[in-house]
């Protein structure tokens, strides 16, 4: 027995969860990109 109010809260919560996942994915991608750049920058020194 869910009321319209609780359904709305659940929908909002789900939207926030999706946004948080997207933010985490973007942040993860940025971190990986930075690591990739530092590795590439160090490669010429190693060769």
- Please identify which residue in the block is written with the tokens 């869910």: 2
DSSP annotation of 2 reads -
The reported pLDDT for the residue numbered 43 is 64
The reported pLDDT for the residue numbered 35 is 76
Q: Please report, in tens digits, the pLDDT of each residue of the chain (47 residues total).
A: 578 899 898 899 889 888 888 888 888 888 777 777 777 766 665 55
The reported pLDDT for the residue numbered 24 is 82
Classify each residue of 7-36 as buried b or exposed e, where b means 16 or more C-beta atoms within 10 Å of its C-beta.
eeeeeeeeeeeeeeeeeeeeeeeeeeeeee
The reported pLDDT for the residue numbered 46 is 54
The reported pLDDT for the residue numbered 28 is 80
- Which residues neighbour 2 within 8 Å (Cβ) at sequence distance 6 or greater? 10
């Amino acid at each position: 027995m869910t009321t319209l109010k609780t359904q709305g809260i659940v929908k909002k919560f789900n939207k926030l969860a999706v946004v948080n996942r997207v933010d985490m994915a973007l942040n993860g991608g940025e971190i990986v990109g930075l690591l990739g750049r530092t590795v590439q920058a160090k490669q010429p020194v190693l060769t």
